[in-house]
Amino acid sequence: MIGCCDCSLINDALLEEEMGIRAKFITIISVLSLLATIAIGYTSYMLSRQSALADARSKGEMLFNYIEASAKFFGKYQKPIIDELVTDKSRFIPELMSRFVVKRMEYDLFAETQKGYQFKQATLDPLWPDNKADVEEQKIIQYFASNPSAKDKEGIIERGGEQFFYAARPVKIEKDSCLNCHGDPGMAPKEQQDVYGTEHGYNWKLNDTVGASMIYVSITHALATAQASALKIFFMGIGCLLVTIFCIWIFLDRGVVGPIIRLSETAKNISIGKNLCDSAHSEAKDEIGVLANSIDRLRISVNKLLKRTCPNQKPGEPDKE
């Protein structure tokens, strides 16, 4: 027989174990669900970000192609007529005769109604000061200079605290005729020298990569939306997680831990020969029910061993008291 001094130890051990099961189970479920929620939130952000970038890429490409088509039209159809009509070869009217001026001024008009985009003919040493490449653009131009086969480059860049998707295409001096205006400054049209001076935008060489056409598409708003929806998903996940944990807690309390405490109490009582007529029989078919009925059989066996009879006990049947 187990001495009474051991009972409190058993009780404590059982209590600790009972707390342990619930705490362990809830901890595992919480950690796994939290990880899953973070993974889902992160994946949602990455997917939204990817689709925002794909959207920016297709818009940027469309704008780029339209600008290039317009410039091609100028070079192919308008420029020959202009050259024919302006018979005084010393004349140079930038808005009429330079493709790059036409592109820039045309885009400025477009930008008046269309926000969220930027177009720049970023150049290392430009005639028009606003075309001067910034540090990031200089890196892109360097990239095109050292990778002559590269036809475009794209990425994400921060400008003035705003996030942009950018697409870049190189500008190379492929024709000698370019150098009429960008070579020796003394040889450039007089009117060009008057407007742009003779300091910058000259002494370019054939085959030099002098700049890059840049299209910027703002993605700040799209990224903020992606972030907001990912956070929404994350907090919804956390909400579901809390409800789930609460339900699991209630279930463990009523369905597992409570019955185990009662059964351990019964087993303890049996071990010290107390309440031997209190039935622990259970109708439940689950593991707890099986355990309860085993403990009840143990109680009946102890009763038999001790040659005790309980009131209302029918032979072969569990006692009902």
- Please give the Cα distance from 291 to 282 (Å, whole number): 9
Task: By CB under 6 A, tell whether 144 contacts ligand HEC.
Answer: no
Task: By CB under 6 A, tell whether 180 contacts ligand HEC.
Answer: yes
Contact 44, 230 (CB under 8 A): yes
How far apart, in Å, do the first and last CA atoms of the chain sit?
A: 25
Task: By CB under 6 A, tell whether 182 contacts ligand HEC.
Answer: yes
Task: By CB under 6 A, tell whether 211 contacts ligand HEC.
Answer: yes
As measured in angstroms, the least distance from the Cβ of 230 to ligand HEC is 41
Of 97, 91, 102, nearest to 69 by C-alpha is 102
As measured in angstroms, the least distance from the Cβ of 64 to ligand HEC is 15
Contact 216, 64 (CB under 8 A): no
Contact 123, 202 (CB under 8 A): no
Q: Which is nearer to ligand HEC, 174 or 317 (CB)?
A: 174
* Token output for 200: 């910058």
Q: Which is nearer to ligand HEC, 152 or 321 (CB)?
A: 152
Site for ligand HEC in 32-91 (CB under 6 A): none
As measured in angstroms, the least distance from the Cβ of 97 to ligand HEC is 6
Q: Which is nearer to ligand HEC, 177 or 294 (CB)?
A: 177
Task: By CB under 6 A, tell whether 94 contacts ligand HEC.
Answer: yes
Which range of residues in 63-71, 126-134, 230-238, 239-247 is near ligand HEC by CB under 6 A?
A: 126-134
Contact 56, 165 (CB under 8 A): yes
* Token output for 205: 């060489």
Task: By CB under 6 A, tell whether 98 contacts ligand HEC.
Answer: yes
Contact 199, 132 (CB under 8 A): no
Geometric angle at alpha carbon 91, from 90 and 93, rounded to 5°: 150
Task: By CB under 6 A, tell whether 203 contacts ligand HEC.
Answer: no
- Residues of this chain that interact with ligand HEC (CB under 6 A) are 92, 94, 97-98, 100-101, 104, 121, 123, 126-128, 131, 171, 173, 175, 177-178, 180-182, 189, 192, 196, 201, 210-211
